[in-house]
Amino acid sequence: MPAKPDYSIESEYDGIIVAIDEVGRGPWAGPVMTAAAILDPRSIPDGLDDSKKLTAAKREMLCEAILTTARVEIGIASVREIEELNVLGATKLAMRRAYDALGVQAAIALIDGNQPPQLPCPTRCIVGGDGLCVSIAAASIVAKVTRDRLMAELAREFPGYGWETNAGYGTKTHQDGIARLGLTPHHRRNFAPIRALLEAAEQAETLADMLEVE
């Protein structure tokens, strides 16, 4: 059986240990979401793991347990910020917002991945950290559950794209929704698939105008 993330990395440090993870860099729609978590080593919920390895029901259950036993804050970068900064820049901004919301001076911030945000404390990047470090796993779960809930809310406002199940990723249901309904304010227009759709629509409109003139 694959090993579960544990607290061994956190045990290398004294003081406040913040773990930060993100979700939502790949979808075609919706914001980037990050979570910054400070676990209590005396009260770590059982079963924490990389959120992608857990069922939705398990994530929901663990999210409630994490929020009960740990300090967690959320950071968001909007679609407009993704378009202005690119998705990596927006992710780093959301990470900084989550960290700042905690209102602490950390001894170390453990970051999932290899791209650290600018924080007022030392940082350590850990590739695959949500499968190695239990604090990052906790952050990944809260970020995933929070973003999925948000996308489900947006799906009620903008039905037809399947966001309640695909969370804004480019699934066939989502693509079919775009073909039928067009784009919404929550679509990331700087993403290649969305940009291609916009360019195709502009070309079609130009062709229609030319034919009308003729």
Question: Per residue in 45-87, pLDDT tens?
Answer: 999 999 999 999 999 999 999 999 999 999 999 999 999 999 9
pLDDT above 90 (res 115): yes
Helix (H, G, I), strand (E, B) or coil at 6: strand
Q: In what order do the strands lie in the sheet with 17-23?
A: 71-77, 32-38, 17-23, 108-112, 123-126
Phi–psi pair at 73, nearest 5 degrees: -130, 155
Q: Is residue 140 part of a domain?
A: yes
In a domain, 62, yes or no: yes
Residue 193 pLDDT class (50, 70, 90 cuts): confident
User: Quick check: helix, strand or coil at residue 22?
Assistant: strand
- pLDDT for res 2: 63
What three-state secondary structure class fits 149? helix
Is position 212 within any domain?
A: no
Q: Structurally, how many domains does the chain consist of?
A: 1
Q: Do the domain assignments include residue 171?
A: yes
pLDDT more than 90, % of the chain: 87
Neighbours of 29 (CB within 10 A): 28
Phi and psi torsions of 129, nearest 5°:
-60, -30
Query: Domain for residue 94, yes or no?
Result: yes
CATH number at residue 195: 3.30.420.10
Q: Can you tell me the mean pLDDT for 173-192?
A: 93
> CA angle, corner 110, sides to 118 and 43, nearest 5?
135
Mean pLDDT is lowest, of 44-48, 82-86, 129-133, 201-205, for 201-205
Main-chain phi, psi angles of 74, to 5 degrees: -105, 140
In a domain, 138, yes or no: yes
Run of H or E residues at 32: strand 32-38
Domain that residue 23 falls in: 10-205
Reply yes or no on whether the pLDDT at 207 is more than 50: no
